[in-house]
């Protein structure tokens, strides 16, 4: 199997990001976005998806967390898209429900190149650490758009916002891990004949 890896570099007036991803990794993680809670969520996502991920972001955090969160999502999506190549011989669909204590989240993905996202994390707090909760939703939507896949993430229940967010990222990780599973099936991946 061709290695499913990518290297992404993105530099703007707002952020300077370097990313390396291996979709068939062993859990090697080196993540520093400048936002502790985003680092935690990215570590959760990569670990449970089975990826190796290195991500370094220097962002304009003196403004706020928006540009760093958004641009990290863009780079992660581009890395996923690049690593997938032509997207042939994949499971394609993935779904998962994962708990974290009282919280339960559900994610459903389709790796066809039709970007769409529906995200409902049910967060009540304004911030988790130094990250605005609205930017967690925005991160997931931007990741799906940049990665060119369909993504539905819903928190079904929970009372602790940290638990709800972490359950959501875990469920997305497990759903992506399933969708990324290589198959030996040579059938057309879609009724259209292409993804």
pLDDT tens digits for range 49-74: 999 999 999 999 999 999 999 999 99
**Distance, CA of 108 to chain centre:** 12
Residue pLDDT, tens place only, 7-23: 999 999 999 999 999 99
Q: Is the pLDDT of residue 193 over 70?
A: no
Read out DSSP for 107-144? EEEE-SS--EEEEE----SSEETTEEHHHHHHHHHHHH
For the chain, domains (ranges, CATH) are 5-179 (3.30.230.40)
The tokens for 37 are 């809670």
Distances (CA, A) of 13 to 16, 60, 68, 145: 8, 9, 11, 22
pLDDT digits (tens, 9 = 90+) for 108-161: 999 999 999 999 999 999 999 999 999 999 999 999 999 999 999 999 999 999
Looking at residue 189, its pLDDT comes to 60
- Specify the pLDDT at position 184: 81
Residue 32 has pLDDT above 90, yes or no: yes
């Amino acid at each position: 199997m061709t290695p499913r890896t990518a290297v992404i570099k993105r530099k703007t007036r707002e952020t300077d990001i370097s990313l390396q991803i291996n979709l068939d990794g062993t859990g090697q993680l080196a993540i520093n976005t400048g936002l502790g809670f985003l680092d935690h969520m990215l570590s959760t996502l990569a670990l449970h998806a089975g990826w190796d991920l290195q991500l370094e972001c220097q962002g304009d955090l003196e403004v706020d967390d928006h540009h760093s969160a958004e641009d990290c999502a863009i780079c992660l999506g581009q890395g996923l898209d690049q690593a997938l190549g032509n997207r042939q011989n994949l499971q394609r669909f993935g779904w998962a429900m994962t708990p974290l204590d009282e919280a339960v989240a559900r994610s459903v993905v389709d790796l066809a190149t039709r970007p769409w996202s529906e995200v409902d994390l049910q967060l009540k707090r304004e911030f988790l650490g130094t990250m605005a909760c609205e930017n967690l939703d925005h991160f997931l939507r931007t990741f799906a758009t940049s990665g060119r896949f369909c993504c539905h993430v819903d928190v079904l229940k929970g009372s602790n916002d940290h638990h709800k967010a972490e359950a959501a990222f875990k469920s997305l990780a497990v759903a992506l891990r399933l969708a990324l599973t290589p198959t030996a099936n040579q059938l057309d991946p879609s009724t259209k004949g292409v993804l």
